[in-house]
Amino acid sequence: MRQGPNLNEFLLKSENGDLLEGSQTNFYAIVNGCLHTAGSGVLEGTVRRLALEVCETHGIPYSLTPPNLADVAEWEGCLISSTSRLLLPIDEIYVPSETEPSGEAHRVRSFDTGDKSIARKLSELVLEQVQVRLGWRSV
């Protein structure tokens, strides 16, 4: 979305605005306390599967419907996942025009990714589960 050293991922958007996944990641949005991610048409990554398991274990609702960019104002947060990033909260979403690189004028939303955010909690729960499975941490 934004070019430069702080860019973490480009998201793939369908014609109707659904955000299915990133170029190397799965994508999620949190709406009304529910984690939304595409249920079909995406690679079902290992960390994505783990994130959904964590939701089930901790009673966090999830929906296998892709978030839509038109609803970004309603999101409480969003995340990407991959084996190298695990589950990473997103700070900002940028939507550049097709003819120019993105910049501050293209920022459509910023998110609170502090310690009390649902996105941060999910990120920490997934990290904890990875550590348990690797034997680095006990249950």
Domain assignment present for 35: yes
pLDDT given for residue 6 in this prediction:
64
pLDDT in tens, 48-85: 999 999 999 999 999 999 999 999 999 999 999 999 99
Q: How many domains does the chain have?
A: 1
Domain assignment present for 63: yes
Tell me how far apart the alpha carbons of residues 83 and 135 are, in angstroms, rounded to a whole number.
17
Domain assignment present for 139: no
| Confidence check: pLDDT of 5 > 80 | no
Which among 130, 19, 16 has a CA at the least distance from the CA of 80? 19
Domain assignment present for 54: yes
Domain assignment present for 6: no
Q: Which helix (H) or strand (E) holds 26?
A: strand 26-31
Tell me the pTM: 0.90
Q: Which domain CATH number covers 109?
A: 3.20.10.10
Q: Which residues in 32-130 belong to E strands, given as ranges? A: 34-36, 62-63, 75-82, 86-89, 92-94, 107-110
- Cα 132 to the center of its chain, rounded Å: 22
Domain assignment present for 60: yes
Distances (CA, A) of 124 to 29, 70, 72, 77: 16, 28, 23, 15
Q: Which domain holds residue 38?
A: 11-133
Q: How many residues does the chain have?
A: 139
Domain assignment present for 2: no
110 strand-pairing partners: 92
pLDDT in tens, 80-106: 999 999 999 999 999 888 887 778 888
